[in-house]
Amino acid sequence: MILESEYPAALKGALEQAASLSRQLAAPDLAARLGLWAIGRSEEIARFVELVVGDWRGGALSDRAAAAELESYVRTLEGALRERLAAGHFSPGDALPLSRATAVRSS
C-alpha cells in the first residue's frame, strides 16, 4: 500500500492504520502462529484499500465515508485477531499490541 500526499488527513490516517495492520499480519513469525487465518490476509487488506480508494477517487465516497469504511474494516480484523488470542490460539507469552503496532515480539 503506497500512501500518497494527495489524500486528505482523515483518509490518510485510515490508510496508515490499514498499512500497519497489514505489516503486522505479514510478519513471518506472527503469520506462522496464526496459521490458515493469516494466509492472504495482507493481500486482502490491500485489495479492500484499493476498492475504497477507487470509490473515493470516483466520487462515490466522501473523504469521511472512505475513512470510516477503512477504519471499520481494520477494527473488524483487529477484533478477529483479539478473538483468536482470547480463544487460546497463542501461548500467554505471545502478547500482541493490536493498536497500530509496528513490531511483533518473537517467542
Q: Where are the chain's structural domains?
A: 9-84
Q: List pLDDT tens digits, range 60-86.
A: 999 999 999 999 999 999 998 878 766
73 or 102, greater pLDDT: 73
29 or 10, greater pLDDT: 10
10 or 35, greater pLDDT: 10
**Left if phi > 0, otherwise alpha if psi is -120 to 50, otherwise beta: which for 30?**
alpha
Taking residue 61's Cβ as centre, other Cβ atoms within 10 Å add up to 18
Query: Residue 85: its pLDDT value, please?
Result: 65
